[in-house]
Chains A and B, each alone.
Chain A
């Protein structure tokens, strides 16, 4: 990268130092401009062509929000010491020369900031790609490590006026926490001063009706001014800032409406104070306070979302047992390199992805893939980090570390999906877009009318009064209070809804996608059928069950525990067993009351010399076709019969699907299992649309595909592999019996394992949305009807206060109707 030398000049666009030899020059009407690169020249030209040359006079990158420390480093160019590069190393992914890292960029305010960052980075030699996400302020940068270091990239971003940091979930959380604190401080301050203000205002109201001594009035007004000022300029600062930005972008947003109302009330009151009229400080302060309260309510329900990612990472064990010849040493998982051998003992969690080199076992991957039955592992099988090892100990060669593991990839998918769902334009914002021009027109009309009748100052006063009264302060409450009532009512029904916008979104849902395993079904195997060997009629069903369950007592396999559980439910007495041996993926062998008992697959039984009669074998085959798991039972040399097991649908599954269909919502089932199993469940629950055989990563794609068809999709699931799909859907609904990650990435969590809640949630959302619309109507209605008073020059603080109180109370009461 270019460093400043004696002949250095600075680029006229980006202010980077550039040596004269490398500089690009361009002659303009006023003077000759110097640029560090063609991109800067192009941008400069573009800005000039658009007639926005003022930008260069107005910009002040050296003072707008960039800490002093950065300012110096930005000016003196990259000076990243070696230690810093070492400190940055953990955030870098990829081997070879091409590296990748996630950065968080502070100071991104508009889409053009994104554009600028991307372009500047992409044109920096050595950087192969840079993508900046506007919503999350995150950048993904890929570079050639032989040409540039991460430290230099960070300095590069600083040099164009943004603050870049390496991205970690912790940094993200700290940022969110900071935002929350800021909001809380502003609201707390606003409510404290508003309380003081109301105290004084009530005195003034009384004075308005009963008459008041002018000296007292003056005192009260000074007091009101004193306490109103911090509310407007400290608490209301974000609104004022937002309004200025909105006006610059020529959009009339909520901020403009709020600022206009509060600010004009404030200025009007100061004028009135000196003219001896009535003051409206309370209106100004209340608008800000109520809107802040609304935002606080919204925020507190929402901020949990970012915890999802840290939970996901916590799944992987921190340590690995590395194989060094015959010795085993425990090292942090981050120190394990590719092709290292690690040992995994029975029942341990797998720390990293790898391939089995020695030993055989089964792994419970349900946490990662949602697949309920354990997967058989032998030499050459792949192990997924975060899964649970079964009964055998394994030596695994590590194939993926750090950011490349399956879990890390799922984390990235979740993050990407979170970033992709852009926040909808708020409903109130759309209304304001019509309301504000109307108000401004009314205000202008008032001025013109009164200008002819009375003095200029008098008519200006009337015009400003229109602005004051028009600002609906209940507007800030209309949505959040209804949402609060809605979520509160949902919570009583065992439905947790994370945030108001989610409740708003829910009412539009027209397609619900259910994950099969664990959501529609119990997620556990259950014995559905016991069949005796047709040639051995003297074996009653309970005898088979007794044999099988007694032998399986030693097994931790899902099928085994299902059989034992079923036997206990049937009050079958179990015998003690010994000489237990489990063959992963095949079956178990144990000695019960001195006789050998075998429970397992057909192949397992036959391999152990048990003859199975063709009739039963055929029957078993048929049962297998319907998606059930079949195990055979043998005692001694005699084949007793078969047990068939399956993952059964939850009791209320059928009813819930019916409820949803009656609400004219399409129900779809998505599963990684084969179509046979899926069809069996679908038939039992009344679902007609099935997407089967989907890979874990594929679920979110299927959701995206449905959304592309213009559907508003809610996804209900519970496994970790559902997490990306939950986020990809418009609304993710997780069952509380599921994994933490699914619950964290979901928008809605059902605390009861009750599928009917899905329909209840959507119904509740529809009610809430109707209430919100009514609220917005009332919020505007009272203030709207007060406008004629203001236009007629009859505005008194009482009318303002009454309109304010009435609209707020109406909105509150209306929201309480949500039950």
Chain B
């Protein structure tokens, strides 16, 4: 029982870790650099 729980905790840690890596990638590739403009871009005629 105890080992199941510990294994699950560790498993979830790695699932979370995957999320963290995606976050790191997103920040480094500039996904968060401009959070204003993209939502207005569809309104522009010329792009």
Which residues of A does B touch, CB under 8 Å?
177, 180-181, 184-185, 188-189, 192, 195-196, 199-200, 213, 215-216, 219, 223, 227, 300, 304
Residues of B with C-beta under 8 A to A188: 20, 23-24, 27
A192 and B16 contacting across the interface, CB-CB below 8 Å: yes
Given A199-B9, A200-B9, A215-B2, A185 and B24 contact (CB-CB distance below 8 Å):
yes
Residues of A with C-beta under 8 A to B11: none
Residues of A with C-beta under 8 A to B33: 177, 180-181
CA distance A181 to B32 in the complex (A): 8
Specify which of B5, B6, B16, B27 is in contact with A184 (CB 8 Å cutoff).
Answer: B27
12 A-B residue pairs with Cβ-Cβ distance under 8 Å, sorted by A, are A180-B33, A181-B27, A181-B33, A185-B24, A188-B20, A188-B23, A188-B24, A189-B24, A192-B20, A199-B12, A200-B9, A213-B2
Residues of A with C-beta under 8 A to B23: 188, 192
A184 and B32 contacting across the interface, CB-CB below 8 Å: yes
Residues of A with C-beta under 8 A to B35: 300
Residues of B with C-beta under 8 A to A195: 16
Task: Tell me what chain B mostly uses at the interface: helix, strand, loop, or mixed.
Answer: helix
CA distance A200 to B8 in the complex (A): 12
Given A213-B2, A216-B2, A223 and B9 contact (CB-CB distance below 8 Å):
yes
CA distance A304 to B35 in the complex (A): 11
CA distance A215 to B2 in the complex (A): 10
CA distance A355 to B13 in the complex (A): 71
Other A-B contacts than A177-B33, A216-B2, 12 sampled, CB-CB below 8 A, are A180-B32, A181-B27, A181-B28, A184-B32, A185-B24, A188-B24, A192-B20, A195-B16, A200-B9, A219-B6, A223-B13, A300-B35
Residues of A with C-beta under 8 A to B20: 188-189, 192
CA distance A195 to B23 in the complex (A): 15
Residues of B with C-beta under 8 A to A219: 6
Residue of A nearest to B12 (CB): A199
CA distance A227 to B9 in the complex (A): 12
Residues of B with C-beta under 8 A to A180: 32-33
Ranked 4 nearest A-B pairs via Cβ = A192-B20, A188-B23, A185-B27, A184-B27
CA distance A184 to B33 in the complex (A): 10
Residue of B nearest to A227 (CB): B13
Kindly provide the distance from the CB of A771 to the nearest chain B CB, expressed in whole angstroms: 26
Kindly provide the distance from the CB of B37 to the nearest chain A CB, expressed in whole angstroms: 11
A192 and B19 contacting across the interface, CB-CB below 8 Å: yes
Kindly provide the distance from the CB of A303 to the nearest chain B CB, expressed in whole angstroms: 10
Residue of B nearest to A213 (CB): B2
B13 and A196 contacting across the interface, CB-CB below 8 Å: yes
Residue of B nearest to A177 (CB): B33
Residue of A nearest to B17 (CB): A192
Chain B: interface size category: 10 to 19
Kindly provide the distance from the CB of A198 to the nearest chain B CB, expressed in whole angstroms: 12
Residues of B with C-beta under 8 A to A223: 9, 13
Kindly provide the distance from the CB of A214 to the nearest chain B CB, expressed in whole angstroms: 12
Residues of B with C-beta under 8 A to A181: 27-28, 32-33
Residue of B nearest to A192 (CB): B20
A196 and B16 contacting across the interface, CB-CB below 8 Å: yes
CA distance A189 to B20 in the complex (A): 7
Residue of B nearest to A304 (CB): B36
Residues of A with C-beta under 8 A to B16: 192, 195-196
CA distance A185 to B6 in the complex (A): 29
Residues of A with C-beta under 8 A to B24: 185, 188-189
CA distance A219 to B5 in the complex (A): 11
CA distance A180 to B13 in the complex (A): 27
Kindly provide the distance from the CB of A722 to the nearest chain B CB, expressed in whole angstroms: 23
CA distance A677 to B33 in the complex (A): 47
Residues of A with C-beta under 8 A to B28: 181
CA distance A215 to B24 in the complex (A): 34
CA distance A304 to B28 in the complex (A): 20
Kindly provide the distance from the CB of A256 to the nearest chain B CB, expressed in whole angstroms: 29
Residues of B with C-beta under 8 A to A216: 2, 5-6
Residues of A with C-beta under 8 A to B2: 213, 215-216
CA distance A800 to B33 in the complex (A): 37
Q: Mark B1-44, 1 if CB is under 8 A from A, else 0.
A: 01001100100110010011001100110001101100000000
Kindly provide the distance from the CB of B9 to the nearest chain A CB, expressed in whole angstroms: 7
Residues of B with C-beta under 8 A to A300: 35
Residue of B nearest to A181 (CB): B27
Residues of B with C-beta under 8 A to A185: 24, 27
Kindly provide the distance from the CB of A731 to the nearest chain B CB, expressed in whole angstroms: 22
CA distance A213 to B2 in the complex (A): 10
Kindly provide the distance from the CB of B8 to the nearest chain A CB, expressed in whole angstroms: 10
Kindly provide the distance from the CB of B23 to the nearest chain A CB, expressed in whole angstroms: 5
Kindly provide the distance from the CB of B14 to the nearest chain A CB, expressed in whole angstroms: 10
Kindly provide the distance from the CB of A590 to the nearest chain B CB, expressed in whole angstroms: 36
Residues of B with C-beta under 8 A to A304: 36
CA distance A656 to B23 in the complex (A): 47
Residue of B nearest to A300 (CB): B35
Residues of B with C-beta under 8 A to A200: 9
Residues of A with C-beta under 8 A to B32: 180-181, 184
Which of the listed residues B24, B27, B33 has the most CB atoms from chain A within 10 Å of its own CB?
A: B27
Kindly provide the distance from the CB of A311 to the nearest chain B CB, expressed in whole angstroms: 14
CA distance A347 to B9 in the complex (A): 70
Residues of B with C-beta under 8 A to A213: 2
CA distance A180 to B2 in the complex (A): 43
CA distance A704 to B5 in the complex (A): 66
CA distance A196 to B13 in the complex (A): 7
CA distance A813 to B20 in the complex (A): 30
Kindly provide the distance from the CB of B42 to the nearest chain A CB, expressed in whole angstroms: 20
Residue of A nearest to B13 (CB): A196
Which of the listed residues B20, B28, B35, B36 has the most CB atoms from chain A within 10 Å of its own CB?
A: B20
Kindly provide the distance from the CB of A188 to the nearest chain B CB, expressed in whole angstroms: 5
Kindly provide the distance from the CB of B29 to the nearest chain A CB, expressed in whole angstroms: 11
Residue of A nearest to B2 (CB): A216
CA distance A199 to B6 in the complex (A): 12
CA distance A196 to B6 in the complex (A): 13
Residues of A with C-beta under 8 A to B6: 216, 219
CA distance A493 to B39 in the complex (A): 21
Kindly provide the distance from the CB of B24 to the nearest chain A CB, expressed in whole angstroms: 7
CA distance A236 to B2 in the complex (A): 33
CA distance A216 to B9 in the complex (A): 12
CA distance A664 to B13 in the complex (A): 58
Kindly provide the distance from the CB of B35 to the nearest chain A CB, expressed in whole angstroms: 8
Residue of A nearest to B21 (CB): A192
Residues of B with C-beta under 8 A to A192: 16, 19-20, 23
CA distance A455 to B31 in the complex (A): 55
CA distance A185 to B33 in the complex (A): 12
Residue of B nearest to A188 (CB): B23
Kindly provide the distance from the CB of A714 to the nearest chain B CB, expressed in whole angstroms: 25
Residue of A nearest to B34 (CB): A177
Residues of B with C-beta under 8 A to A199: 9, 12
Residue of B nearest to A223 (CB): B9
Residues of A with C-beta under 8 A to B12: 199
CA distance A180 to B27 in the complex (A): 10
Kindly provide the distance from the CB of A787 to the nearest chain B CB, expressed in whole angstroms: 34
CA distance A223 to B7 in the complex (A): 12
Kindly provide the distance from the CB of B16 to the nearest chain A CB, expressed in whole angstroms: 6
Residue of A nearest to B36 (CB): A304
CA distance A189 to B28 in the complex (A): 13
Kindly provide the distance from the CB of A304 to the nearest chain B CB, expressed in whole angstroms: 8
Kindly provide the distance from the CB of A93 to the nearest chain B CB, expressed in whole angstroms: 31
CA distance A188 to B20 in the complex (A): 8
CA distance A177 to B32 in the complex (A): 10
Residues of A with C-beta under 8 A to B19: 192
Kindly provide the distance from the CB of A156 to the nearest chain B CB, expressed in whole angstroms: 34
CA distance A227 to B12 in the complex (A): 13
Kindly provide the distance from the CB of A64 to the nearest chain B CB, expressed in whole angstroms: 25
CA distance A304 to B37 in the complex (A): 11
